[in-house]
Amino acid sequence: MTVESSSESALPYPCPHIMDEPHPFAALRSLPGPTRQHTSTGDESWLVTTYDGVKNMCGDPRIGRSHPDPRRAPRLWDAALMEATGEHENEATDHRRWRHTLSRHFSSRRTTRLRPSTEARFDTLVRSCLAAGPPADVCADLAYPLAAGVIFDLLGLPEELRRAMTEWSGMVREPGRAREAVRLRSRLRDDVDSILRRIRRQPHDITSDDSLLAGLALARTGSEDLRDEEHADAILDVFLAGFDTVAARMVYGTFFLLARPSQWNALCQDVSLVPGTVEEILRLAVPGGGWIPRYAQADIPVSGTSIKAGELVVLSFQSANRDEAVFRDASVFDIRRDPNPHIAFGHGKYYCLGAALARLELSVFLTGLARFSRLQVAGGLAEEPEVAHQKVTGGLNRLLVTWETNREEPQRR
């Protein structure tokens, strides 16, 4: 069935409130298949909104990121994030090599080793906020510093690159800045490649032999691995996927919890609820809507018609994870939800390699956040927090919170 976009809006649809999904989704999920929609760039696309539909498309070998003519490929937005790639004929092979090379660095065992340092890092951030006294900004004081510290330690990048890398992460998400983002990525790629080559020449100079940077530089590569000249791009891709995405989810998750005081109080009283809370945040607290653009690599029959090769296919993970056919009371935030078969990390060949790391960071974040006594949104919940409309992936620009202070804690002057 083909349904054209209404004149009201184009993809990506705006959310009426950060805790709600866009209005069209409920009706679209009742339709038998993908629907024809216009995007913010004026291009045509196929929108997939159901749980089964998104899951099936993720696992379909006829769906990919490449396009035979990437410069003319239909786009979801005017931003550099997730643009169509080239190498159309080699995408499947290149993707297998990418996963084969990086998967060993994201094993559950390796990720678990990061917990002590992640806890220590967040403890320092929490202590700093408690000492300064309320209010604190969950974005600037807690979530983003934690996510940045974890990903930079994992990658093994030097301090001098952090500012430029963080700037680039924001730039790729801002409409109208695609050319700037491409130029900055090229510069960062040269910088990272230079570090990799130096490690290969002088391996005894590395600061951490457990980092991804060192692992890639010193590994013996085979035919199924990425080549040396591809390692810098892999580092940048991992950073892009593992920084803003995780930090924004921490902030959204905080708001969802504080907007439901009974849920927040239950978590504070019983830390065994942290794992379930992490999963519910991943399912429901979706900054920007969780839009993923992909391209048909061949014709795909759908509901009496077909998606043609080269056409844009937009997967809405926000909609899929609110599918009433799968989740009871799908729009309700419930930290005790069980089962919770969400697909926040994708499915199949595109399942996120950093899923275990993201879960670890969210777990540490929530456990540490519970140390704030009677935490609440500053000014109450009557007004929506400052949404990051400048980014196609959304999020919040800031989330101010207050809490009760103990007499022995130093107050902000």
Local mean pLDDT, 10-residue blocks, the chain (413 residues): 52 92 96 95 97 96 95 96 91 94 90 95 97 97 97 92 96 96 98 94 73 91 91 97 97 97 96 97 94 97 93 98 98 98 94 96 97 93 90 95 68 35
Tell me the longest C-alpha to C-alpha distance in the chain.
69
Per DSSP, the residues of 3-39 read -PPPTT--BSPPPSSTTS--TTHHHHHTSSS-EEEEB
pLDDT at 223: 85
C-alpha–C-alpha distance, residues 343 and 326, integer Å: 11
pLDDT at 413: 31
Residue found by looking up tokens 């979530």 in the block = 143
To the nearest 10°, report the CA torsion of 266, 289, 396, 128. 50
pLDDT at 87: 80
Beta-strand pair 300-302/291-296: unpaired
Residue found by looking up tokens 């130029």 in the block = 183
pLDDT at 206: 64
Q: Could you give the domains of the chain?
A: 25-402 (1.10.630.10)
Entry field: residues in the chain: 413
Give 218-258 as a 3 state SS string: HCCCCCCCCCHHHHHHHHHHHHHHHCHHHHHHHHHHHHHHH
pTM of the complete model = 0.94
C-alpha–C-alpha distance, residues 50 and 31, integer Å: 9
277 CB neighbour count, 10 Å cutoff: 26
> Hey, what are 306's tokens?
């077909």
List the strands of the sheet with 44-48, edge to edge.
35-38, 44-48, 312-316, 291-296, 63-64
Give the chain as a 3 state SS string: CCCCCCCCCCECCCCCCCCCCCCCHHHHHCCCCCEEEEECCCCEEEEECCHHHHHHHHHCCCEECECCCHHHCCCCCCCCCCCCECCHHHHHHHHHHHHHHHHHHHCHHHHHCCHHHHHHHHHHHHHHHHHHCCCEEHHHHHHHHHHHHHHHHHHCCCHHHHHHHHHHHHHCCCCCCHHHHHHHHHHHHHHHHHHHHHHHHCHHHCCCCCCHHHHHHHCCCCCCCCCHHHHHHHHHHHHHHHCHHHHHHHHHHHHHHHCCHHHHHHHHHCHHHHHHHHHHHHHHCCHHHCEEEEEECCCEEECCEEECCCCEEEEEHHHHCCCCCCCCCCCCCCCCCCCCCCCCCCCHHHCCCCHHHHHHHHHHHHHHHCCCCCCEECCCCCCCCEECCCCCCCCEEECEEECCCCCCCCCCC
pLDDT at 4: 45
> Hey, what are 200's tokens?
């290969």
